[in-house]
Amino acid sequence: MGQLNPRLHRRQPGAGCLLLLMAAMLTGGCSDNPRRLLIIGLDAANWQSMDEIVAAGDLPNLTRLIKGGVTGSLATFVPTASPAIWTTIATGQPPDKHGISFRLLRLDEGGEHEMLAALSSDERTAPALWNRFTDSGIRSAFVAWWATWPAEPIDGFMVSDKVYDAQAGRRTFPEDLRGELEHAGVFDGALPPEQDAMIREVEAQFKAWRRRVEEGVVQWHGVAPDVNDYLDDLAERIRVYRRIMTMDYATERMTHYLLDRDPSLRVVAPYFWYLDVCQHLLWKYWRPADFTVDPEEQRIFAPLVPEYYRFMDGVVGRLCKHVHAADVVIVSDHGMESSTSERCINDLFDVEGLLQDMNWLVRQADGAPDLARSRAYVHAESRQLRLINLSTAGRDSPGAVPEPEAEKGIAALAGELAALRTIPTGVPVFRDVRVLADGERSYRAGEFVVYVFAQADLAVAINMHAPLTDTLEVGGRRFPLSRWNRWNPGASGQHTEGPPGIVILNGRPFKRGMRITGARVHDIAPTVLAALGLPVAEDLEGKMLEDAFSADFLREHPPVMVPSYGVRPRPARAGEDSGTGDSAVLDQLRALGYIR
């Protein structure tokens, strides 16, 4: 954990800590003229994009906050699963300590793509910011944050990530707030006129161009197995773009409504997911040099990603104006970068099929692994990782590998997988092959900490720089890498390799015009707590970003340390409806264009 900074004052639990919390309840954390704190989550916001758009003068509100505050890149972890990372942002703890991990859902229709299934706030075992604020008498509103359903009772308002899911109970706290928001018209589907006009123009240009392609007047120059299906997909992407922008705009409107409803709110924290979705679906038009894109298609779709950043800049400006003279924290969970799926293997790479060709796995007639005849199988998977188990007798009865031979078998399989090199380039198929100890839930791979989301014998990370033009020798025969690679037209933007996010800190506690280094997603919660004058727990994985604070603020509000916030007990929900199942998640993912 490292040594404590001598500037930080350590308080033992007891009367002193009780007096501190009582003072915080009376003053809202700081003793002089408490200001509001606005925390804005912008999923997948990245400096690679923002710096370019700022330089063009198109993000005036973010530019003001950047120039007048502290900025930095924010290191994340892998797998880059948003519920886990945003819970780390809210708690200061990693997934193996806060309990929100990487539950996955396998889709049966046409592929092995894995998506996150529903995650319950009941599974969180670490106190989050909203719990700390409630304990300190600070009224707060959190809107649409990941893994906040069922909505917890807090001092203020909680709008959970399932606010749109009609099948889920306890979508908000108070529970009748959902109906109140609907009655107020915040979900009416409107968009700001500027964005509505831009989308209509893109729609009109696309329809005219598509008609010329279909009539043979112009030729389409792109990459896809079927041109008609590809054009249908493009039309759907425009519809999805409007839909996701509308949903982010509804999050903004919910936040304005809560600010008007309760002027005593001290902390207001809306989370905006859909910049991430926008960049997944449309990144290649923002970075066309990395892809093969038809020139006219590129011209039509090029405005969409920068326009979403301009839209979010407007959201930030309107919220800052509403809270007036607030301290502001803007944070993202990771960045975005180009997918190499046109040229290299992608996250749909069929590791199970590779195990079959390596004679480690035998399938049943329905395609499922036959554990009685298989020596290994894929136990669980995410975009970055495949977790592999040996088919061990006893654990996987009837497993094909006797238990005394398991350790030797795991080492043999790990060696074979690590040795796989493509021909002629000679790059490894897996950038990381890790034998997992019993109960091992995280490990370091290069600059990243990798969190393992299920117990397994092996963790392998796909090398998405292995060129598709290469071949692989398996069982004495050579096969093209395309044998195991699936067509993946969906996501030209990706964050599978953990590109950093952003942090912007602006306001009274912070320095001006400074860039910091070394910040992590773990550090946001303790930094926010310190900015409000609340004690920071020593046992947090994250540390307050002390370099970001002004000397005057630290002198007036010296940081205070306490040993721990303790463990959040999981709420008992016996006899209550647990909410939606996987079908509702699938419906949402289809609606957003993640799956077909």
pLDDT digit of tens for each residue in the chain (596 aa)? 333 333 344 444 333 333 333 333 333 333 345 789 999 999 999 999 999 999 999 999 999 999 999 999 999 998 888 899 999 999 999 998 998 876 544 444 333 333 344 468 998 999 999 999 999 999 999 999 999 999 999 999 999 999 988 888 899 999 999 999 999 999 998 899 999 999 999 999 999 999 999 999 999 998 887 899 999 999 999 999 999 999 999 999 999 999 999 999 999 999 999 999 999 999 999 999 988 899 999 999 999 999 999 999 999 999 999 998 789 999 999 999 988 767 788 878 899 999 999 999 999 998 889 999 999 999 887 777 899 999 999 888 788 999 999 999 999 999 999 999 999 999 999 989 999 998 888 888 776 677 777 789 999 998 988 998 999 999 899 999 989 987 665 678 888 888 999 999 999 999 999 999 999 999 999 999 999 999 999 999 999 999 999 999 999 999 999 999 999 987 765 444 444 444 544 555 554 444 44
Q: Prior bond to 499 cis, omega within 30?
A: no
How many C-beta atoms surround the C-beta of residue 227 within 10 A?
A: 13
pLDDT recorded at residue 487? 65
CATH number of 9-101+111-337+497-560: 3.40.720.10
Cα(436)–Cα(441) distance, integer angstroms: 8
Cα(379)–Cα(452) distance, integer angstroms: 12
pLDDT recorded at residue 29? 38
Cα(224)–Cα(249) distance, integer angstroms: 33
Which two tokens mark 592? 């957003």
Cα(85)–Cα(5) distance, integer angstroms: 26
pLDDT recorded at residue 577? 45
Task: Please name the residues in contact with 460: beta carbons below 8 A apart, sequence gap of 6 or more.
Answer: 351, 385, 386, 388, 417, 430, 432, 433, 434
| CA-to-CA separations, 496 to 65, 126, 436, 500, 539, in angstroms, rounded | 29, 26, 21, 11, 29
pLDDT recorded at residue 186? 94
Q: In the β-sheet with 376-381, what is the strand arrangement from edge to edge?
A: 376-381, 385-390, 458-462, 430-435
Backbone angles phi, psi at 219, to 5 degrees: -100, 140
pLDDT recorded at residue 11? 42
pLDDT recorded at residue 18? 38
pLDDT recorded at residue 35? 85
pLDDT recorded at residue 116? 44
pLDDT recorded at residue 102? 61
pLDDT recorded at residue 489? 58
In three-state secondary structure terms, 333 is coil
Which two tokens mark 249? 């705009």
Q: State the DSSP H helix or E strand holding residue 279, giving kind and residue range, or none if neither.
A: helix 274-286
| CA-to-CA separations, 438 to 101, 262, 404, 407, 516, in angstroms, rounded | 18, 50, 15, 11, 38
- CATH 3.40.720.10-classified regions of the chain: 9-101+111-337+497-560
pLDDT recorded at residue 580? 47
pLDDT recorded at residue 5? 39
pLDDT recorded at residue 541? 96
Rama region for 263: left / alpha / beta (φ>0; ψ in -120 to 50; rest):
alpha
